[in-house]
Structure 1
Amino acid sequence: MPHPNNTLLRIREGRDGDVPIVLGMFDSAVAWLTARGRTGQWGTNPFTGNDRRTRQITGWLRLGGMRIAELDDHPAGCIVVGGAHDYVAPATEPELYIQALVTDRRYHGQGVGRALLDWAVAEAAERGVGLLRVDCYAGDDGRLVTYYESCGFTRTAPFTVGEWPGMLLHRRL
């Protein structure tokens, strides 16, 4: 798919070898957030070397919902779709749930996250479901919630996991 900055953006299925790549994407996001004093979302520690995070990302790959966005054949972002997390209210209709979204900060501002969200919308439509949901960190200044709203999502309900403030959002197709 052509991309605004004349690079080629391609979204492919996750495959063997992607777990360390996705861990690295999260590491770059954590470092970027930490440098800006925004440590509430994912903390300050890299995901690489964290057994729990490695198992989580390996599970996403094995369940088949992982997609990798590549810009000019370089991994730039990852989205994972599947069932809703157990800490949010279940949907009352068939849905597709965005379990994770991360972009490598080297590709910040290049539309990778939006392209992955557009892929999720198309995937939900292809599966014949009219509801796409996502949750995100709602602390600090709420910029992440605002980002999802700018991508067509609507706030559904706030929630907390321990002390972590979250927002559940939805998008109707």
Structure 2
Amino acid sequence: MTTIDRDTGGGTARPALRIRPGTAADAPALLDMLDGAVAWMNARGNTQQWGTVPYSQTNGGTERVERYTTVNQPFVAELDGVPVGAVVLDTGPNPQMPIAPAAEPERYVRLLITDRRRAGLGIGSALLAHAAQETRRAGVDLMRVDCWAGGGGELVAYYERNGFTRAETFLSGSWPGQVLVQRVGAGAGAGADGSAADGSAADGRTQG
């Protein structure tokens, strides 16, 4: 478990962010955040990234989140005991996406999601820093993520601000994606503070 005491920069302390391992009991909270992200994107004219149907109502959406919280390695961020974000790690990319496994051990960010009602608190960045810490703790140097590359590349830029560099691009049907990498060995930076511009969501089409 990680507890992060933060300052707003003006001398006012933000509530401490607690990051803990996730469990199957967190699935409803993750689904709620995913539904909120779809609504947030749609309200801003972004209907391409995740479509227009609430995530919990998409084909296989609920089952996918259940797998995230039982099969993969989830971590949940809390403020005052309330889940406000999550990151899910795996040992490789979604096998349904046109992304080749790495030629070395890796940790792959399969999902990064934050509560849009808590935007601007640096929750996504804190979760990515925690993911890097967990990757390093496992003795693994490589961490990768993929995300939607449309919309002017705002989400790609967000990951770059958090210590990732661009690798290959891909298309899943007509959906443009970008793979990014980060080396998390000794001396690696923890990433910038901030919240994602497009819903703090990786594994863009969340197909697996």
State the TM-score, normalizing by the size of structure 2.
0.80
Deviations 1:29-52 (A, max 9, x none): 111110000111111111123351
Deviations 1:30-89 (A, max 9, x none): 111100001111111111233511000001111141111011211110110012222212
Counterpart among 47, 50, 62 of residue 55 in structure 2: 47
User: 2 CA distance for matches of 1:118 and 1:139?
Assistant: 24
Matches within 5 A, 1:38-77: 38-77=46-85
Which residue identity is paired with 2:5? P
- RMSD of aligned residue pairs (Cα, Å): 1.2
Structure 2 match to 1:103: 114
**CA shift in 2, pair 1:143/1:164, >3 Å:** same
Structure 1 match to 2:150: 139
The Cα of 1:119 is off from its aligned counterpart by: 0.4
1:21 matched to 2:29? The reply is yes
The Cα of 1:4 is off from its aligned counterpart by: 2.7
Which residue identity is paired with 1:136? C
The Cα of 1:3 is off from its aligned counterpart by: 2.3
Deviations 1:74-107 (A, max 9, x none): 1110110012222212101111100010111011
Structure 2 match to 1:90: 101
User: 2 CA distance for matches of 1:145 and 1:64?
Assistant: 24
Indicate if the aligned counterparts of 2:165 and 2:181 stay in contact, CA closer than 8 A. Answer: yes
Structure 2 match to 1:127: 138
Could you tell me which runs of 5 or more consecutive residues in structure 2 were left unpaired when the two chains were aligned: 9-13, 185-208
Alignment length (residue pairs): 173
Structure 1 match to 2:163: 152
Which residue identity is paired with 1:170? V
- Between the aligned residues of both structures, percent identity stands at 45
Indicate if the aligned counterparts of 1:158 and 1:167 stay in contact, CA closer than 8 A. Answer: yes
Counterpart among 158, 170, 177 of residue 166 in structure 1: 177
The Cα of 1:147 is off from its aligned counterpart by: 0.3
Which residue identity is paired with 1:85? N
